[in-house]
């Protein structure tokens, strides 16, 4: 009986090594792929969630109102602004007080009323200007002749030189005319040229028209006779 033939052992060993090496490489590749997949899933799990926009930070859309709404707003009552009180003028250096005039009979002339806000001190009437009288040591409008300086008369609240008084009241003027005063003068009492008169004196007077005189005479020139002129020309010049 014949024995089976066995292949030589040395030839079988290299083929087994190649198969083992291929299995090992495949195992390494599979394990590496699993590790990579596990690492990627881990990174995705640890990554922070994307931030969601804040509702409060999103600007509200601009609303376009209808013309009717604007009309209603315009028709709504508006609250008036607070009133600003005007400050009253204060007296002080360089600030004139508000004028307060001495009352006069409304039937009399109402010009040149006396301003009581101006009242300088005085000792006697001759110390006062603006034709005033000294009353209670203050320059004030006169009420009678004794309150004025000597030689003066009280006319329409002013002290006038008696010689310049033409009227005192409207009763002294004819035809419903009024008694008036002219302007102040530049003297210390301001009444040296002040006088009273009836308003009729202001009416312009009618004047007759006269033709201007025209001098139609010819101008007079010295006449020289022709003979005398010839004689003078013929005379020799004196040397």
Cα maximum dimension of the chain: 214
Distance, CA of 129 to CA of 135 (rounded, Å): 13
- Report CA torsion sign: 13, 15, 19, 25: positive
Nearest Cα residue to 139 out of 162, 158, 113: 158
Q: Which two three-digit tokens encode residue 207? A: 């004047």
The DSSP call for residue 115 is: B
**Tally of domains within the chain:** 1
Q: Kindly report whether the global pTM for this prediction surpasses the value 0.95.
A: no
pLDDT, tens digit, for every residue of 159-174? 999 999 999 999 999 9
Distance, CA of 195 to CA of 183 (rounded, Å): 8
The DSSP call for residue 147 is: G
| Mean pLDDT for the stretch of residues 78-106 | 66
In the prediction, which pLDDT does 156 show? 95
Distance, CA of 28 to CA of 33 (rounded, Å): 9
Instruction: Please report whether residue 74 resides in a domain.
Output: no
Instruction: Please report whether residue 227 resides in a domain.
Output: no
Place of tokens 């010009």: 111
Residue 85 pLDDT more than 70? Answer: no
Instruction: Please report whether residue 31 resides in a domain.
Output: no
Residue 92 pLDDT more than 80? Answer: no
Instruction: Please report whether residue 149 resides in a domain.
Output: yes
| Domain coverage including residue 131 | 125-202
């Amino acid at each position: 009986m014949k024995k089976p033939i066995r292949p030589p052992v040395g030839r079988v060993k290299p083929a087994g090594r190649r198969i083992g090496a291929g299995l090992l490489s495949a195992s390494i590749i599979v394990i590496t792929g699993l590790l990579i997949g596990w690492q990627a899933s881990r990174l995705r799990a640890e990554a922070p969630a994307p931030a969601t926009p804040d509702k409060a930070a999103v600007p509200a859309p601009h609303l376009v109102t209808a013309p009717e709404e604007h009309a209603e707003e315009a028709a709504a009552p508006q609250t008036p602004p607070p009133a600003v009180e005007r400050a009253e003028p204060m007296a002080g250096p360089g600030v004139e007080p508000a004028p307060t005039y001495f009352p006069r009979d409304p039937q009399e002339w109402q010009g040149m009323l006396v301003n009581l806000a101006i009242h300088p001190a005085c000792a006697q009437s001759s110390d006062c200007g603006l034709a005033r009288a000294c009353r209670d040591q203050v320059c004030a409008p006169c009420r009678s002749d004794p309150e004025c300086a000597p030689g003066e008369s009280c006319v329409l609240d002013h002290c006038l030189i008696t010689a310049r008084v033409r009227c005192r009241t409207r009763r002294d003027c004819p035809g419903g005319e009024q008694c008036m005063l002219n302007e102040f003068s530049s003297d210390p009492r301001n009444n040296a040229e002040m006088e009273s008169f009836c308003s009729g004196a202001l009416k312009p007077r009618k004047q007759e028209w006269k033709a201007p005189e025209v001098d139609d005479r010819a101008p007079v020139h010295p006449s020289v006779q022709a003979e005398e002129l010839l004689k003078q020309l013929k005379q020799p010049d004196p040397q």
